[in-house]
Structure 1
Amino acid sequence: MKNIIKISVRGLVEFVLRSGDLINAFVGSSRNTDAIKAHQKIQKAAPKEYMPEVTLSYIVEKEDVNLEISGRADGIIEYENNIIIDEIKTTTTPLEFVEEDYNELHWAQAKCYAYIYSKENKINNIDVQLTYYQMDTKEIKRFLKSYTFKELEAFFYDLVEKYLHWARILKENYEKRDESIKKLTFPFKEYREGQRKLAVSVYKTIEEGKIIFAQAPTGIGKTAATLFPSIKAMGEGHTSKIFYLTAKTITRTAGEKALNSMCDKGLKIKSVTLTAKDKICFKEETVCDPEKCEYAKGHFDRINKAIEDIFKEDNFSRTLIEEYAKKHIVCPFEFSLDLTNYTDCVICDYNYVFDPKVYLKRFFGDTSTDCVFLIDEAHNLVDRAREMFSSEISKKEILDLKKMSKSEAIEVSKKLNKLNSIMVTFRKKCEGNNNYYIQGEVPEDIVNLLREFTYCAEKWLLENKKNENELKDKLLEFYFKALGFIRTYEEYDERYITYCEKTYEDTKLKLFCLDPSYLLGEAMKRGKSTVLFSATLMPMNYFIDILGGDEMSYRLRLKTPFKKENLCLLVDNKISTKYNHREFTYDRIVEDIEHIIKSKKGNYIVFFPSYKYMNEIYIRLCDKNPEVNTIYQTIGMSEEEREDFLSAFSEENKDGLLGFAVMGGIFSEGIDLTGDKLIGTIIVGVGLPQICLERNIIRDYFKTKNGRGFEYAYMYPGMNKVMQASGRVIRTEKDRGIVLLIDERFSYPSYKELFPPEWKHGIICKNQNHLQESVKNFWQKGGIR
């Protein structure tokens, strides 16, 4: 059976007809919610003969390939004497500048719908209408053209013929992919304990289109155990695209390595890794201006050749994308986004699927897909989701922008002045109330003013497109913040709260998403199936509740594949690391560290709840032990500094190395220091997030909702950090090492019940001598590796 190559009408038109420069200059097209409402308004006001949102599909059959072209016409008007295909476009451009030839692609899209409809209904003559809706004035302008069936057929097949060359390349790749998947075996000699069970569960979940929460301890090989069955499911036609979603760059590398290991076994699959625009841009300043960037100038004239050329490769890593982008002189970021259309697996950050501001609308516009979402380190999605679904504005940025725009953008400045006045009112509400103010609903007056501001700002930005100054940059920045605030308002319900907080320098107003479960659940519906996995999904019910699962979601808990004798878990519960007690603990913690690192030379990391606490211990330990080699994490480390930090943990360190890092930071999860690269970690404290207004708001919300306010806001997130940090030690079946937990709360029943099964044999140290003896016995019992 021939492969069917599927493409949308819009995708076909854009692929064939796009040309010219890449311009990310302001075009006033970001008001998606308003645009949808405008479509609906026009459709509702139409005559009774108007049929909105009509799905159309047509298969072009060739000897060697079938091409399925589908899409949704905004409207079809069936009068007795003629048929009109209506294509609605919203614009912020004044309608006097919108002429019949305003955009060739708009006509092309509508003509394709007209051809498919005419073909299906055997119509010889049909009208095509473009309806332009001006977002500010609410005015409408229409253009109408009549076409014969033969004219439309010639136009349609001209597009098709130009696309068929690429369709045949895709078909050939799909055939190679499917054949290689059939022959593919698991990339390693054998499954680790629990790994096969995870793989089977993932396949079943995808096959049934369900959601699964999988807690798989460190060492099981979660990446291979989720990607392998997903690829097998693709070979069986259960999915056409896999999204491997991560929170951090370092875990994206794990996805790439797993795919490469399968490709080494004969897999023929196309994958692309997405890198943030500001990181992959070739220019010092990330501005897509064809006058300043040779990669933007003529980008669309060269992009299709670049895509075809890179398709000789398989896995499109950042390095490969940069190489081909330079070769064909195209924007590397836009290049990578285009490649997602044609690849089988996309490795990227969570936000490309979940963030309402930047998710890939090319896939997840307003329809569901058969995509599979593999969410690595899913415990990180809780705070990331709250961040994605929340929005804030600040008084300082409004006031600064008001002053800056006073002479050049008078109307904009007036709107900002009104916004500033409302923010002054909120600031006063904070004063005398511990510098914060909370309310359960959105302040409608500020949302209405923000709408007015965006209209004024759009008008000014469009009129001053060619201007390059600080005002334009700052105005654009706040414009998008305002849009985000309005967008969040559209989603605001009982899971949100509005709070205002006054600091020494500023006052911020935030629409804060307390419970992201509903919005995450809705986002997951964009795909067919979701696999959420992590070594630390404990307690499972908490994560199912907060991450959009329900009673129908599958759940899987796997045991560690490693011998419990390989891990020496010690607890010093004679020290309280609560914030008010920390200054009394420094010397005792230094002593604990000394006992561990002097028992056996090697590489160790000590994890702390804060940089301040870490620095206090670091100074004291170095003063007392100048001979100890140390390295420490700093705030805002560059990628190069991070790599240097990790590479310092070498098996060649004869004198050993002691690292200092923070829990929940870049070195406490997702890093793989196997063998003698790391033989122990010391974890200071139970990892509780710092007490702050937001955490207390979360606590109060869940206390009312389910009676677990402190657990949801502090305890569960904290213990996840602890377990992630401890998971750095035992990475393979040959690893042996020590984990020392320092805090009295580790012996509290409420915390102990969160311990994974492999921690049940942990030793509560009675005193320093007991600690020293326990460490000594562990290393002597196992011998020297």
Structure 2
Amino acid sequence: MSKQIKVSVRNLVEFIFRSGDIDNTFVGSTRALEGTRAHQKVQSSYGEEYTPEVVLRHIFNYGNFTIEIEGRADGILKENQRIIVDEIKSTIRPLDEIDEDYNLLHWAQGKCYGYMYAIENEIEELEIQLTYFNIESEETKKFIKYYTLSELEEFFLGLIGKYIEWANMTFYWGEVRNVSIKELSFPFKSYRKGQRKLAVAVYKTILNEKNLFTQAPTGIGKTISTIFPSIKAIGEGVASKIFYLTAKTITKEVALNSIKQMVWKGLRIKSIVITAKEKICLNEEVKCNPRECPYAKGHFDRVNDAIMDVLDKEDIITRDVILEYAKLHQVCPFELSLDLSLWSDVIICDYNYVFDPNVYLKRFFNESGNDYIFLIDEAHNLVERSRDMFSAQVVKEPFLRYKRLFKEDFPNLSRNFNSCNNIMNKVKREHISNSDFYYQKEEITDIYPPIRKLIKELEQWLIKEKEHQLHKEILELYFELLRFIKISDFYDKRYVTYIEQRGKDVLLKLFCIDTSYLLSETLKKGKAAICFSATLTPLDYYRNILGGDEEDYITRFSSPFPKSNLCLLVGDTISTKYKNREKTYLDIVEYIEEFVSQKKGNYFVFFPSYKYMEEIYICFTNRNPGIITIVQENSMKEKDRENFLNRFHLKQENTMVAFAVLGGIFSEGIDLIGEKLIGATIVGVGLPQICFERNIIREYFQIENGLGYEYAYMYPGMNKVFQAAGRVIRSENDRGALLLIDERFSTTKYRRLYPREWFHYRRVKDSKSIKTNLIDFWDT
């Protein structure tokens, strides 16, 4: 049976013939539009003898392959007996610097179109014309070459021969991979409680092309239970790629380790971890041009050899592997990783490579209905991340600043900055008077035209003034404005426009309150999505807010660990509401003292804010100088975080109490197994700080479904509580205690959110009852 290949002329030619440097020197975002305009200008300069935009398709057999190649010739010119295939290219380069051999890739495209047209129309000879159109001068320069059909056929088949080398590798790899997948069994001797059920649910979701939202507690093995059935689906030809999406580096490692477990059992699979450009760049500074980066210079001359080398020798492609081969072949590691993702079966990356409209992987997601599987780990994080992705803002201060700075040397640009500044002043006058905040459902459309005009002027300035001392900061502003305009295209009933007075400055934000529709549109670009987390409570809320619908599946699993391993105490006689906090310091300190004094070990205490934490910390340390304490600081660097966590790994004879904030870096995604952590106190129900933005969310969902407070405050807050609580029991042998302090924890609406493994909780009314319960627990 022949193997099917479908490829466009452009992708075929660019892959085989690409050469030269990476050069991300600013050329403007409107080049694509200008290119279209250039094509139209050239095409309209001809008469009836010229047919523009001619669609061509050629299907043929080559060895064991049936190849379908398609494309669109810019124009076919018929003059007397001459037939000329026209390939149009727009440029900003002066035409006198362009000669016949300026870019061989351009000739290659033209020759492919020429061959396809000649075959389709049974022509033995024709001419290929390259037309270069200078965007600034609007002048053209043309080169024409004559070819026979046999010459074009020799070139075309030579091109296909090179491509088949890659295609053979792809098909051979697919066979090797699929055989190994069929022979693969679950990589562990037995399934944990609930694990098999989760794996089956994932597989059925993929087969039925649905989305699954599942709460799978720590210990169930959710990573392997989602990846294993997804890989099985690839082996059955149901899917072609898995995107494992996560918000944190540590969860990328967990996914990679799960794949390694299967590789040790005989699996052959190509997996890659995509690392952000800033974290993988080999240059001293991220400057992607041949003048300032040796890896950008000549990158495209060497990158295909690098890809072939990696694919020939490596299956698990990590950051270190990419760096090794990037150095060996002197290519850009980030661009190499993106190219390698095309040949990979499992792509492990951040949420934004799929969901963010500004940075998503266009090579995969420009169309809907692909046979991809999205595995979305720690899916609760996607709620706020997606609001950031689909929102954008501008502030007044830069408009005023650059208006003044450019007034003398660039008066026209200064006037454009002034127009934007004036409209921001108008917004301020009309909407900010009695309050520092204002919002409305309708767009303030007056802001868009001056910003669009400024963007256009900035493009010209950025191209011409590359050496200007303000070039870098103006470039950053340009992309911020471009993002603002791009996000405005998504504006609908799920958005509001809000204005905020910040001292003398004014902020205008397009705020996406409800991202569910935009997320659902992204999910349609794949076959199925599995959204999973240990804390996806309540499931109906997460299915709704993450883009699911009534037909999508929800499932909840109980913890596989014995309930008796956790002592759960609820101190519901203390109110930690903001207005009551100053009165609670001593009571909370006494609760913590009693909680940590019954067994020596390491403890966490989590607080709803830094200020509250610091006040309790001072009070606690003054009263307990003999207890080791460490405290989370605001804006800790990577090394500081490591040092903080390393304190839990030390063997120490005395008790250590770590003070941290709910929703912070230490309340989620860290594993402190066994004696490294034996207990945690959680102060408050984790509610986000009351603010203008949160209140907008509350009002919106109150109208939508009557659950405004829950969506804006309660559910996000309790998620922080569940995440922090999940630090205590990390394995089946762990035993630990958990103390929740807040009167709201025992109210009906909060108790309804408790996971099943919390149903055995005990209320404690004072420090004495804490002591009694813990003595019973630690002595058993």
Normalising by structure 1, we get a TM-score of 0.91
Q: Please tell me whether residue 356 in structure 1 is matched to residue 333 in structure 2.
A: no
Q: Paired residue for 1:340?
A: 341
* Unaligned 5+ runs, structure 1: none
1:371 and 1:779 mapped to 2: Cα distance? 49
Q: Paired residue for 1:159?
A: 159
Preserved CA contact (<8 Å) 1:325 1:332: yes
Taking a change above 3 Å as real, the CA distance of residues 180 and 589 of structure 1, as seen in their structure-2 partners, is same
Q: Please tell me whether residue 575 in structure 1 is matched to residue 574 in structure 2.
A: yes
Q: Paired residue for 1:308?
A: 308
2:503 and 2:475 mapped to 1: Cα distance? 26
1:399 and 1:258 mapped to 2: Cα distance? 53
Q: Please tell me whether residue 61 in structure 1 is matched to residue 95 in structure 2.
A: no
Q: Paired residue for 1:280?
A: 280
Q: Paired residue for 2:759?
A: 760
2:36 and 2:497 mapped to 1: Cα distance? 26
How far 1:761 moved relative to its partner? 1.3
1:717 and 1:88 mapped to 2: Cα distance? 54
SS in 2 for 1:594: helix
Q: Paired residue for 1:535?
A: 534
Q: Please tell me whether residue 668 in structure 1 is matched to residue 667 in structure 2.
A: yes
SS in 1 for 2:731: coil
Preserved CA contact (<8 Å) 2:52 2:75: yes
Q: Paired residue for 1:726?
A: 725
Q: Paired residue for 2:389?
A: 388
Q: Paired residue for 1:256?
A: 256
Q: For each residue in 1:109-137, what CA deviation from the matched residue of structure 2 results, as whole angstroms up to 9, or x when unmatched?
A: 45445545655675656787878899899
Preserved CA contact (<8 Å) 2:251 2:669: yes
SS in 2 for 1:491: coil
Taking a change above 3 Å as real, the CA distance of residues 116 and 715 of structure 1, as seen in their structure-2 partners, is farther
2:550 and 2:47 mapped to 1: Cα distance? 45
Preserved CA contact (<8 Å) 2:54 2:76: no
Map 1:690-769; keep pairs closer than 5 Å: 690-769=689-768
Amino acid at match of 1:229: P
1:68 and 1:427 mapped to 2: Cα distance? 61
Taking a change above 3 Å as real, the CA distance of residues 78 and 287 of structure 1, as seen in their structure-2 partners, is closer
Map 1:48-87; keep pairs closer than 5 Å: 56=57, 58=59, 61-63=62-64, 66=65, 68=67, 70=69, 73=72
Q: Paired residue for 2:456?
A: 455
Amino acid at match of 2:456: Y
2:134 and 2:689 mapped to 1: Cα distance? 48
RMSD: 3.4
1:376 and 1:39 mapped to 2: Cα distance? 45
How far 1:73 moved relative to its partner? 3.3
How far 1:441 moved relative to its partner? 2.5
Q: For each residue in 1:679-733, what CA deviation from the matched residue of structure 2 results, as whole angstroms up to 9, or x when unmatched?
A: 2221111111111111111111111111111111111111111111111222222
Taking a change above 3 Å as real, the CA distance of residues 388 and 200 of structure 1, as seen in their structure-2 partners, is same
* Unaligned 5+ runs, structure 2: none
Amino acid at match of 1:516: T
Preserved CA contact (<8 Å) 2:496 2:510: yes
Amino acid at match of 1:413: S
Q: Paired residue for 1:198?
A: 198
2:161 and 2:579 mapped to 1: Cα distance? 73
SS in 2 for 1:179: helix
2:82 and 2:125 mapped to 1: Cα distance? 8
* Aligned-pair identity (%): 53
1:150 and 1:595 mapped to 2: Cα distance? 90
2:227 and 2:43 mapped to 1: Cα distance? 43
Q: Paired residue for 1:488?
A: 487
Preserved CA contact (<8 Å) 2:125 2:147: yes
Preserved CA contact (<8 Å) 2:56 2:113: no
Map 1:560-571; keep pairs closer than 5 Å: 560-571=559-570
Preserved CA contact (<8 Å) 1:271 1:345: yes
How far 1:515 moved relative to its partner? 0.8
Preserved CA contact (<8 Å) 1:29 1:92: no
Amino acid at match of 2:290: P
How far 1:677 moved relative to its partner? 2.0
Normalising by structure 2, we get a TM-score of 0.91
Amino acid at match of 2:266: G
Amino acid at match of 1:183: E
2:139 and 2:579 mapped to 1: Cα distance? 63
Amino acid at match of 2:479: F
Q: Paired residue for 2:426?
A: 425
Q: Paired residue for 1:657?
A: 656
Taking a change above 3 Å as real, the CA distance of residues 410 and 149 of structure 1, as seen in their structure-2 partners, is farther
How far 1:509 moved relative to its partner? 0.9
Q: Paired residue for 2:210?
A: 210
Taking a change above 3 Å as real, the CA distance of residues 396 and 727 of structure 1, as seen in their structure-2 partners, is same
Taking a change above 3 Å as real, the CA distance of residues 141 and 250 of structure 1, as seen in their structure-2 partners, is farther
How far 1:496 moved relative to its partner? 0.9
Q: Paired residue for 1:170?
A: 170
How far 1:72 moved relative to its partner? 5.2
Preserved CA contact (<8 Å) 2:9 2:70: yes
SS in 2 for 1:480: helix
How far 1:54 moved relative to its partner? 5.5
SS in 2 for 1:363: helix
2:652 and 2:409 mapped to 1: Cα distance? 62
How far 1:629 moved relative to its partner? 2.2
Q: For each residue in 1:284-308, what CA deviation from the matched residue of structure 2 results, as whole angstroms up to 9, or x when unmatched?
A: 3211132222222222222222222
Taking a change above 3 Å as real, the CA distance of residues 648 and 139 of structure 1, as seen in their structure-2 partners, is farther
Taking a change above 3 Å as real, the CA distance of residues 546 and 92 of structure 1, as seen in their structure-2 partners, is farther
How far 1:170 moved relative to its partner? 3.1
How far 1:653 moved relative to its partner? 3.8
1:55 and 1:498 mapped to 2: Cα distance? 47
1:758 and 1:610 mapped to 2: Cα distance? 27
Q: Paired residue for 1:229?
A: 229
Moved more, 405-414 or 278-287: 405-414
How far 1:589 moved relative to its partner? 1.6
Map 1:569-718; keep pairs closer than 5 Å: 569-650=568-649, 652-718=651-717
Moved more, 155-164 or 342-351: 155-164
2:514 and 2:137 mapped to 1: Cα distance? 37
Q: For each residue in 1:376-409, what CA deviation from the matched residue of structure 2 results, as whole angstroms up to 9, or x when unmatched?
A: 1111111111111111111112222333333443
How far 1:76 moved relative to its partner? 7.9
Taking a change above 3 Å as real, the CA distance of residues 545 and 638 of structure 1, as seen in their structure-2 partners, is same
Q: For each residue in 1:729-763, what CA deviation from the matched residue of structure 2 results, as whole angstroms up to 9, or x when unmatched?
A: 22222222112111111112111111111111111
How far 1:623 moved relative to its partner? 2.0
Q: Paired residue for 1:779?
A: 778
Q: For each residue in 1:334-353, what CA deviation from the matched residue of structure 2 results, as whole angstroms up to 9, or x when unmatched?
A: 12112111111111100001
1:388 and 1:559 mapped to 2: Cα distance? 33
How far 1:626 moved relative to its partner? 2.1
SS in 2 for 1:470: coil
Taking a change above 3 Å as real, the CA distance of residues 117 and 200 of structure 1, as seen in their structure-2 partners, is farther
How far 1:39 moved relative to its partner? 9.3
Preserved CA contact (<8 Å) 2:432 2:499: no
Taking a change above 3 Å as real, the CA distance of residues 462 and 777 of structure 1, as seen in their structure-2 partners, is same
Preserved CA contact (<8 Å) 2:210 2:529: yes
Amino acid at match of 1:437: Y
1:355 and 1:630 mapped to 2: Cα distance? 40
Taking a change above 3 Å as real, the CA distance of residues 508 and 247 of structure 1, as seen in their structure-2 partners, is same
Preserved CA contact (<8 Å) 1:73 1:110: no
* Structure number with larger C-alpha Rg: 2
1:230 and 1:318 mapped to 2: Cα distance? 23
How far 1:10 moved relative to its partner? 3.4
Q: Paired residue for 1:329?
A: 330
How far 1:447 moved relative to its partner? 1.0
Taking a change above 3 Å as real, the CA distance of residues 443 and 114 of structure 1, as seen in their structure-2 partners, is farther
Taking a change above 3 Å as real, the CA distance of residues 711 and 554 of structure 1, as seen in their structure-2 partners, is same
Preserved CA contact (<8 Å) 2:494 2:512: yes
Q: For each residue in 1:42-91, what CA deviation from the matched residue of structure 2 results, as whole angstroms up to 9, or x when unmatched?
A: 9999999989795857465325xx37565553878799999997878777
Preserved CA contact (<8 Å) 1:570 1:765: yes
